[in-house]
Every structure is written in structure tokens, then in C-alpha cells.
């Protein structure tokens, strides 16, 4: 409980920064994806690594092709986090290591992020992952509907 009280309240903005950065990257990648619209690219990005849920929503709302792309993008994000978190923490800082994991930071990538960023960042990582996890259904369905 003491560790949580000592955390900087501004850390609550990390999931917002991750979401904005991820969606900005998806928007910048949209012109490179021939045949897919900006909203398709944003829907895929809004999965934030939560491949099981986002792919189901996208399959229902946009079809199996885009859902497959979302699945692959989200799995690649998770694999990249598992492989790169130690380097990212060293070169860019512990918050960057949390951010790259997206929604996976409170479950599958939590151990590697905690090891790479340090134990104090476990609480930040759990909060970050939960916040992004809860945003996925809303953001994916929103981008699929426009």
C-alpha cells in the first residue's frame, strides 16, 4: 500500500499516452496499407495487444480479413514486448517498457516488464494494462462503426 501512495499521480496518464501514441502510429500507417481505410487501421490499433477480444469484434463488424490482420498485429506487439522490454527499459526508460506492452501489461507481459523496469513499476504496469483493456471494446467498436 505504501508503494502505491508514493507513486506519482501523473502515472495515471500513461495509458492515455499509450493509446494516443498507438492510434497515431496506426493513422500514420494507414496510407501504407493498400485497400484498408483509416478507420480500419485505427480499429486494428485500438486492440492495444488484446488480440482475442479485438479480433472477435473486428470479425463481427468488418470481416475475417481485417480480424486476421488485427490478430497478427496484436500478437506481434506482445512478442515484441516480451523480446524488447529489457532493451527498451535500458535505452528509453521504464515507462517506455510499460507502454510498449499495451493491454498485455497486466497479464502476459507483466513478469518481463517488472524484471526490466523494476518492481516499483509492477503497479503501474497492472493499472496501465487494465485501463487499456477496458478501452478496447469501446474504441474498436467505435472505429469499426465510422
Q: What ranges do the domains of the chain cover?
A: 12-145
Span of 28-37, 49-58, 99-108, 122-131 with lowest mean pLDDT:
28-37
Tens digit of each residue's pLDDT (9 = 90 or more) over 68-98: 999 999 999 999 999 999 999 999 999 999 9
Q: Measured between alpha carbons, how far is 140 from 32 in angstroms, rounded to an integer?
A: 20
Is pLDDT above 80 for 6?
no
Mean pLDDT value of segment 116-126 = 93
HEC-encoded secondary structure of the chain:
CHHHHHCCHHHHHHHHHHHHHHHHHHHHHHHHCCCCCHHHHHHHHCCCCCHHHHHHHHHHHHCHHHHHHHHHHHHHHHHHHHHHHHHHHHHHCHHHHHHHCHHHHHCCCHHHHHHHHCCCHHHHHHHHHHHHHHHHHHHHHHHHHC
CA atoms within 13 A on the CB side of 16: 4
Contact by Cβ (8 Å): 78, 51: yes
Amino acid at each position: 500500500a505504501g508503494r502505491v501512495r508514493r507513486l506519482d499521480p501523473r502515472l495515471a496518464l500513461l495509458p492515455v499516452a499509450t493509446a494516443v501514441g498507438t492510434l497515431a502510429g496506426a493513422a500514420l500507417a494507414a496510407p501504407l496499407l493498400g485497400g484498408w481505410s483509416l478507420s480500419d487501421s485505427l480499429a486494428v490499433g485500438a486492440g492495444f495487444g488484446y488480440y482475442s477480444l479485438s479480433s472477435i469484434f473486428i470479425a463481427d463488424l468488418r470481416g475475417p480479413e481485417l480480424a486476421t490482420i488485427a490478430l497478427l498485429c496484436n500478437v506481434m506487439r506482445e512478442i515484441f514486448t516480451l523480446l524488447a522490454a529489457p532493451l527498451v527499459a535500458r535505452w528509453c526508460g521504464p515507462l517506455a517498457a510499460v507502454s510498449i506492452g499495451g493491454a498485455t501489461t497486466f497479464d502476459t507481459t507483466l513478469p518481463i516488464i517488472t524484471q526490466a523496469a523494476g518492481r516499483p513499476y509492477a503497479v503501474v504496469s497492472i493499472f496501465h494494462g487494465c485501463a487499456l483493456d477496458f478501452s478496447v471494446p469501446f474504441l474498436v467498436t467505435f472505429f469499426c462503426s465510422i
